[in-house]
Structure 1
Amino acid sequence: MPDRILVPVDGSPLSKRALEVACDEYGTAEITALHVIDPTEPGYSIFGVEYDPSTAPRHGSEAWYERATELADELFEELDALADEHGVSIRTETVVGRPDREIISYATDEDVDQIIVGSHGRGEESRLLLGSVTEAVAFRAPVRVSLIR
């Protein structure tokens, strides 16, 4: 049974489902929800958040990072409530960087036993079964990776 579980989250339904699976199957483990703010993406790396460059802070500015952090905090409030519904307490962390690299780095640095990640497939008929971040994590992570679809 793994002691430390990492669940990368971006607010998408599949990342929330991955957290639910972690809570249901590994509720006694230390579960960390990790959100990565991608500085190369004009949006805020949060699923469903509208990004309007005409009204949003300039991409990469201090105000942009503050807004990205606020959105991550809002996401974590939602995820904390989700974990509470399952009777589990979670840790939350935000890092800045390229998502696949940051997820793998975090797993290595924090001695994570398993990563549970939502797979952003493009449909059943598609040859592309995983999102690019999920694919990179699945093939390069130093620990077991469970994909949630």
Structure 2
Amino acid sequence: MAEKVLVPTDGSPLSIRALRHALEKFRDAEIVVLHVIDVFEPSDGGGFESLYEPMIGSEEWESMEREATRELLAEAEETAAEYDREIATDSEIGDPQRIIPDYAEAESVDHVVMGVHGRDDPGRTLVGRVAETVVSRSPVSVTVIR
């Protein structure tokens, strides 16, 4: 059985479901909830994110993202408390497709549990781009929750 389980989260319903699954299935394991602050690529000017491009990387942007991350991870801790469990939390800035597998390896994680897609992946896909990449790059087994 896994001793250390990583649960990446973006606060989406599926990532919360993944956390609940990890808390139920891996009762004796240390659960680490990771939020990756995704710095998306600059848009072509036509997307919603173009409104935020001048802010990305600024102190104001980082402050806003850190506050949102604190709230998201506090919600994860509240979910764990429903199971009488404590969890470890962490955050990184970067591309989730790279950060999650690298974090799993660097932190000696035994298993990853994540949602099949997050907030930004369209519902039309069977498996989101982040989940698909993590499954292919992860050094450990990955459970994908639908």
TM-score, with length taken from structure 1: 0.85
Q: Which runs of 5+ in 1 are unaligned?
A: 43-50
Alpha-carbon shift at residue 122 of structure 1 (Å)? 5.2
Alpha-carbon shift at residue 40 of structure 1 (Å)? 2.3
CA RMSD in angstroms, aligned pairs only: 2.3
Counterpart residue number, 1:45 = none
Counterpart residue number, 1:30 = 30
The residue type paired with residue 92 of structure 2 is: V
Secondary structure, counterpart of 1:80 in structure 2: helix
Q: Which runs of 5+ in 2 are unaligned?
A: 43-48
Percent identity among equivalent residues? 44
Indicate yes or no: 2:5 matched with 1:11: no
Secondary structure, counterpart of 1:92 in structure 2: strand
Counterpart residue number, 2:99 = 102
Q: What is the alpha-carbon distance in structure 1 between the residues aligned to residue 94 and residue 50 of structure 2?
A: 22
Indicate yes or no: 2:54 matched with 1:60: no
Alpha-carbon shift at residue 36 of structure 1 (Å)? 0.4
Matches within 5 A, 1:1-149: 1-40=1-40, 53=51, 58-120=55-117, 128-149=125-146
Tell me if structure 2 keeps the 8 A contact 1:57–1:63: no
Give the number of aligned pairs.
138
Alpha-carbon shift at residue 57 of structure 1 (Å)? 7.8
Secondary structure, counterpart of 1:95 in structure 2: strand
Q: What is the alpha-carbon distance in structure 1 between the residues aligned to residue 92 and residue 2 of structure 2?
A: 23
The residue type paired with residue 115 of structure 1 is: V
Alpha-carbon shift at residue 139 of structure 1 (Å)? 1.2
Tell me if structure 2 keeps the 8 A contact 1:36–1:94: yes
